Amino acid sequence: MIRTDLVMIVTSDISGQVRGKGFPVSNLEKRLKRGMGWVPTNVQITCLNSIAESPYGSVGDLILVPDEKTEVKVDFEDNGAVEHFFIGDILHLDGSPWECCTRGLAQKALADLEEETGLFFNSTFEHEFFYTGADQTGWNGFGLESYRKNSLFAQTFVSALEKAGVDTDTFLPEFGPGQFEVTTSPCVGIRSADQSLILREVARATADRFNERVSFSPMVKSDSVGNGVHIHFSLLDRENKAVTYDRSNKQGLGEKAGMFCAGVLKYMPAITALMAPGVLSYQRLTPHKWSAAFNNLAVQDREAGLRICPVIEIKGKAGKTADQYNLEYRAADASASPYLQIAALVRAGLQGIKDQLPIPEATQGDLSLMSKEELEKMGVTRLPQSLDQALELFENESIIKEWFPGNFQDVYLKHKYQEIKDTREIEPEKLYALYGRVY
């Protein structure tokens, strides 16, 4: 059959979907410079393919311009089409950033962090997903047998990631039957979010080659474990030196990192609307699911909103503590755009530094068993328990208007309220299936 290679330029939008436009590879040079036309109201296409109210209407034109560094070109060598795309930035026709480009919002937050504090954000996304083609016979979390029975998919996936320029840190069969976890190596700046987008899409492309699907949806059914996105991060100075750790603090948090974490904790309830923004996200963010239910900091506790990760101390084998020390944001999932996750996290942390918030204390024990008064004393609150609640906190947090330009917050709210409206009448089983498919 005759075929022409097509290249896509894509964006990860408010709905957490990856959308774009394509062109024949012969036009690559032109498209790298000028990109392709993009419609403002596209940002209001929800994950269910409805359109929320848009301030832009049918008017206006933007461009989606590829970032050459993000090229993904994976030939699975199975005679199928080569997976070839670039991640783009949505710009005005004069090249200036557009208010609702998620990647632009993340880049601006990272640039402001650097300019205002001299710090760089080093991070990686840990992803969990279910694979429909998984051989679940005698499934055992972390089981070698569970891996072996699915190693063809696993190896093809990791090979595809490698060809896409993404270095896999770890891959494992998770606890849920048919669930896997994959983590990429940490990167400074926007690249970690790029890698998160690429990882999700390469997982989908790999599954597609096996005529199967993957789902990163936070909950795939009511009685299953969730799919989390855990964002690991640390801070580097201009000399590339890790500054997150300070041994003189009892939790090991350096001064700036402590303020950063304090900001993240303070705004965690309000930014949940950006970090875990699906209608099903709130079934995962409950106690005893090893996800996160409170805006607390805790040492090595997998129920914490923000977890201080372990440091390996074997003499002569482990690296320096300061280079290993990192935090893990656990109240996040893949119904979000990774760019909005980075933007929200960095904005909240930067605010903590600007306001010189005190270094937070780590909590201990099971917070779900504590009284409201006890929690209040620790300065901890329950995270929102529905998307409605999360959006209300997001809307009422006045500082958010300063973090994001122009119409962004209003557009975001309209988008998400449309999603709530669209899903209100759908029975739970159908909703799991629907979200399972779109994420």
Smallest gap from residue 159 Cβ to Mg ion (A): 22
Amino acid at 260: F
Establish if 333 lies at the interface with Mg ion (CB under 5 A): no
Q: Which is nearer to ligand GLU, 176 or 254 (CB)?
A: 176
Site size with ligand GLU, rule: CB under 6 A: 10
Interaction partner, residue 284 (Mg ion, ligand GLU, none; CB < 5-8 Å by kind) = ligand GLU
In the bound state with Mg ion, the residue whose beta carbon lies nearer, of 182 and 387, is 182
225 binds ligand GLU (CB under 6 A): yes
194 binding Mg ion? (CB under 5 A): no
181 touching Mg ion, by CB under 5 A? yes
Q: Please identify which residue in the block is written with the tokens 């309000």.
A: 270
Query: Contacts with Mg ion: how many residues (CB under 5 A)?
Result: 1
The DSSP bridge partners found for residue 63 are: 37, 91
Lookup: tokens for 283: 């079934």
User: What's 87's DSSP letter?
Assistant: E
Cα distance between residue 192 and residue 124, in whole Å: 5
C-beta of 226 vs 254, nearer to Mg ion: 226
83-111 residues labelled b (16+ CB within 10 A) or e (exposed)? bbbbbbbbbeeeeebbbbbbbbbbbbbbe
Q: Residue 90: what residue type? A: I
The answer to the question of residue 328 lying near Mg ion (CB under 5 A) is no
- Rounded to a whole number, what is the distance in angstroms from the first to the last CA of the chain? 32
Closest-by-Cβ residue to Mg ion is: 181
Distance in Å, CB of 174 to Mg ion, minimum: 5
In angstroms, the CA 19 to CA 204 distance is 14
Strand partners, 128: 181
Residue nearest to ligand GLU (CB): 228
Q: Quickly count: other Cβ atoms within 10 Å of residue 362's Cβ.
A: 19
Q: Does 183 bind ligand GLU (CB under 6 A)?
A: no
- Report d(CA 428, CA 96) in Å as an integer: 43
Hey, which residues between 250 and 289 contact ligand GLU (CB under 6 A)? 284, 289
Which residues, 348 to 377, sit near ligand GLU by CB under 6 A?
none
- Given a contact cutoff of 8 angstroms between Cβ atoms, the answer to whether 405 and 380 are in contact is no
Six-digit token pair at 305? 């909103």
- Asked if 302 is part of the footprint of ligand GLU (rule: CB under 6 A), the reply reads yes
Is 100 or 331 the residue whose CB approaches ligand GLU more closely? 331
CA 109 to CA 97: how far, in whole Å? 13
Residue 175, judged by CB atoms within 10 A of its CB (0-12, 13-18, 19+), counts as middle
Q: Can you tell me which of 208, 290, 382, 385 binds ligand GLU, judged by CB under 6 A?
A: 290
Give the whole-angstrom CA distance, residue 238 versus residue 240: 5
290 interacts with, out of ligand GLU, Mg ion, none, CB within 5 to 8 A per kind: ligand GLU
Q: How many other CB atoms sit within 10 Å of the CB of residue 156?
A: 18
3-state secondary structure of 306: strand
* Closer Cβ to Mg ion, 83 or 181, answer by number: 181
Phi, psi of 37 (to 5 degrees): -65, 145
Left if phi > 0, otherwise alpha if psi is -120 to 50, otherwise beta: which for 103?
alpha
Cβ–Cβ under 8 Å, residues 202 and 194:
no
Handedness of CA 368, 373, 375, 380 (dihedral sign): positive
Choose which of 291, 326, 381, 409 interacts with ligand GLU (CB under 6 A).
291
Q: Which of 147, 144, 143, 182 is nearest to 162 (CA)?
A: 182
Q: Is 173 in the site for ligand GLU (CB under 6 A)?
A: no
- Contact of 433 with 48, CB cutoff 8 Å: no
Determine if 436 is a binding residue for ligand GLU (CB under 6 A): no
The binder of 226, among ligand GLU, Mg ion, none, by C-beta within 5 to 8 A per type, is: ligand GLU
Rounded least distance, CB 328 to Mg ion, Å: 11
x/- map, 134-173, Mg ion, by CB under 5 A: ----------------------------------------
Quote the least distance from Cβ 43 to Mg ion, whole Å: 31
Which of the choices ligand GLU, Mg ion, none does residue 277 contact, using the CB cut-off of 5 to 8 A by kind? none
Residue 334 site contact among ligand GLU, Mg ion, none (CB < 5 to 8 Å, cut-off depends on kind) = none
Residue 31 interacting partner from ligand GLU, Mg ion, none (CB closer than 5 to 8 Å by kind): none
Q: Which part of the chain contacts Mg ion (CB under 5 A), choosing from 11-19, 178-186, 300-308, 399-407? A: 178-186
Is 226 a binding residue for ligand GLU by CB under 6 A? The answer is yes
**Per rule CB under 6 A, is residue 128 in the interface with ligand GLU?**
yes
> Which residues are CB-contacts of 95 (< 8 A; sequence separation ≥ 6)?
65
Smaller CB distance to ligand GLU: residue 13 or 301?
Answer: 301
Determine the 3-state secondary structure of 422 from DSSP: helix
By the criterion CB under 5 A, which residues form the site for Mg ion? 181
By the criterion CB under 6 A, which residues form the site for ligand GLU? 128, 225-226, 228, 284, 289-291, 302, 330
